[in-house]
């Protein structure tokens, strides 16, 4: 019985292979792969007959159906251990999927294995190739890695006034890319100002400071202090006609400078007359404070007008034409002319009266009494 079953199984295999060969069209590489897979299934089925007890349940299908699209998404391919970013370009496999000869068998699902066929560098992209056991494959681009820069290394230390330099390199093997940078100057780290020369009233002083990093010394001038004067003391009193003097002393220790200022004369003399002036002569006055003497001009006359003085008198006109204001004057005249012994020879006269000017008009000074004709 067992021998018969084995013989029958062989016949079925031959018939099946013959029927498949007559009904299948020329195959491409991918078709051959799938046909081989179907044959393996049939052979497996035939071999399994040996383990069954009922031959009637075996059915062999020799018709090859058209391939259908896979209904499930491909499983995640097995990638290499190197991390890879998302693909930027993908080439999908173009090989058709052949449906299995057994309609109850699930369609073929690609199981891709990823292999980096060109490693990316810092500046160039790489390539990753995905391959299925069935021969299907596609590629994707691996982005450039970019430089993996190391830490900055100081190549030239900066100073207070000069910049320094630094550089860093890419850490990736085989990459010689470097970057250089400038380190700013540190500037001076100054100490506090210290007095090196003290200023005085009239002389400037000096201060210094130094840089803690480079020992450069900087010097600056401190202005002179100027004198610190006291309130001053009157060293010469002013008078009516003479100015006085006030003296100031500097109060700073070690300074003996002084200064003076003029105190104006008071100008308030106390005059007293030492010689009175007259109408025609100058007088003098002396200040009782400063004993200064000054001249007082003559006063000048203070004239007062006086009219002429007259009186009514007897007038004696002599025969000779002489005029006399008294008989005595006429008699004397006559006696001198004829002589006193001969009374008969007296001149004749004519007696009358008239206003006689005793004193003509004049001006008289009220101060000194001097008179002048008006």
DSSP string, 190-230: B---EEEE---SSS-EEEEEEBTTT--EEEEEE------B-
What's residue 329's pLDDT? Answer: 78
Whether residue 207 is predicted with pLDDT greater than 70 in this model: the reply is yes
| Residue 189 burial (CB count, 10 A) | 11
Reading the block at residue 68, the tokens are: 């259908």
Distance CA 6, CA 13 (A): 11
In a domain, 16, yes or no: yes
Asked if 216 and 191 touch (Cβ cutoff 8 Å), the reply is no
What's residue 250's pLDDT? Answer: 95
Asked if 169 and 150 touch (Cβ cutoff 8 Å), the reply is yes
Distance CA 84, CA 143 (A): 8
End-to-end CA separation in angstroms for the chain: 211
Whether residue 352 is predicted with pLDDT greater than 90 in this model: the reply is no
Q: Which of 302, 262, 265, 263 is nearest to 280 (CA)?
A: 302
277 and 328 in one domain?
Answer: no
In a domain, 72, yes or no: no
Q: Which of 291, 286, 293, 292 is nearest to 271 (CA)?
A: 286
What's the DSSP call for residue 185?
Answer: P
126 - beta bridge partners? Answer: 142
In a domain, 96, yes or no: no
365 and 331 in one domain?
Answer: yes
351 and 293 in one domain?
Answer: no
In a domain, 135, yes or no: no
pTM: 0.35
Domain with 246 in it = 233-263
What's residue 2's pLDDT? Answer: 43
363 and 335 in one domain?
Answer: yes
pLDDT band at 258 (very low <50, low <70, confident <90, very high): very high
More confident residue, 309 or 110: 110
Mean pLDDT across the chain: 74
Q: What share of the chain is helix, strand, coil (3-state, %, to 5)?
A: 15, 35, 50
Q: Which of 199, 195, 198, 145 is nearest to 172 (CA)?
A: 145
Which range among 33-42, 102-111, 225-234, 315-324 has the greatest average pLDDT? Answer: 225-234
Kind and range of the H or E run holding 353: strand 349-359
308 and 296 in one domain?
Answer: no
Kind and range of the H or E run holding 102: none
What's the DSSP call for residue 344?
Answer: G
278 and 248 in one domain?
Answer: no
Asked if 100 and 135 touch (Cβ cutoff 8 Å), the reply is no
308 and 292 in one domain?
Answer: no
What's residue 355's pLDDT? Answer: 65
What's residue 315's pLDDT? Answer: 77
What's residue 21's pLDDT? Answer: 38
In a domain, 145, yes or no: no
In a domain, 250, yes or no: yes
In a domain, 222, yes or no: no
366 and 308 in one domain?
Answer: yes
Query: Which among 247, 282, 300 is the end of a domain?
Result: 300
More confident residue, 163 or 10: 163
Asked if 84 and 76 touch (Cβ cutoff 8 Å), the reply is no
Distance CA 256, CA 260 (A): 13
What's residue 341's pLDDT? Answer: 52
Residues 6+ apart with CB under 8 A from 44: none
Asked if 284 and 273 touch (Cβ cutoff 8 Å), the reply is yes
Q: Which of 109, 15, 101 is nearest to 71 (CA)?
A: 109
What's residue 153's pLDDT? Answer: 95
| CA 129 vs CA 87, 92, 117, 230: distances in Å | 11, 11, 6, 103
Instruction: Report how many domains make up the chain.
Output: 5
Reading the block at residue 156, the tokens are: 């030239």
Query: Which among 252, 285, 300 is the end of a domain?
Result: 300
Of 8-12, 131-135, 275-279, 332-336, the range with the lowest mean pLDDT is: 8-12
Which range among 34-38, 71-75, 106-110 has the greatest average pLDDT? Answer: 106-110
Average pLDDT estimate for 324-340: 69
Q: What stretches of 213-344 show up as alpha helix (H) in DSSP?
A: 327-338
Say if residue 128 is exposed, middle or buried (CB neighbours under 10 Å; 0-12, 13-18, 19+): buried
CA 110 to chain centre: 74
Distance CA 64, CA 373 (A): 188
Whether residue 183 is predicted with pLDDT greater than 90 in this model: the reply is yes
In a domain, 17, yes or no: yes
325 and 354 in one domain?
Answer: yes
């Amino acid at each position: 019985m067992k021998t018969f079953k084995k013989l029958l199984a062989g016949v079925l295999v031959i018939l099946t292979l013959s029927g498949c060969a007559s009904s299948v069209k020329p195959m491409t590489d991918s078709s051959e792969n799938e046909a081989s897979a179907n044959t393996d299934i049939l052979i497996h089925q035939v071999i399994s007959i040996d383990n069954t007890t009922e031959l009637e349940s075996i059915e062999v299908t020799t018709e090859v159906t058209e391939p259908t699209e896979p209904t499930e998404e491909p499983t995640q391919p097995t990638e290499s251990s190197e991390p890879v970013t998302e693909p930027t370009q993908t080439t999908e496999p173009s090989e058709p999927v052949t449906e299995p000869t057994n309609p109850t068998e699930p369609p073929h699902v690609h199981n891709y294995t990823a292999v980096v066929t060109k490693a990316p560098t810092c500046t160039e992209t790489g390539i990753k190739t995905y391959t299925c056991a069935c021969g299907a494959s596609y590629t994707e681009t691996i982005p450039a890695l970019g430089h993996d820069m190391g830490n900055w290394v100081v190549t030239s230390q900066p100073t207070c006034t000069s910049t320094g330099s630094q550089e860093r390199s890419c850490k990736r093997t085989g990459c010689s890319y470097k970057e250089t940078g400038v380190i700013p100057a540190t500037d001076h780290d100054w100490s506090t100002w210290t007095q090196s020369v003290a200023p005085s009233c009239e002389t400037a002083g000096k201060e210094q400071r130094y840089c803690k990093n480079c020992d450069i010394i900087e010097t600056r001038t401190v202005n002179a202090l100027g004198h610190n004067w006291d309130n001053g003391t009157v060293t010469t009193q002013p008078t009516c006609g003479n100015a006085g003097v006030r003296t100031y002393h500097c109060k700073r220790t070690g300074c003996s400078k002084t200064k003076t200022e003029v105190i104006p004369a008071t100008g308030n003399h106390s005059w007293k007359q030492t010689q009175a002036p007259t109408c025609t002569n100058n007088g003098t006055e002396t200040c009782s404070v400063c004993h200064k003497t000054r001249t007082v001009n003559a006063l000048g006359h203070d004239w007062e007008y006086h009219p002429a003085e007259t009186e009514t008198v007897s007038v004696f006109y002599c025969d000779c034409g002489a005029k006399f204001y008294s008989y005595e004057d006429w008699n004397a005249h006559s006696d001198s002319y004829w002589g006193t012994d001969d009374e008969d020879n007296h001149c004749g006269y004519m007696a009358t009266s008239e206003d006689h000017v005793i004193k003509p008009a004049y001006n008289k000074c009220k101060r000194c009494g001097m008179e002048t004709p008006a």
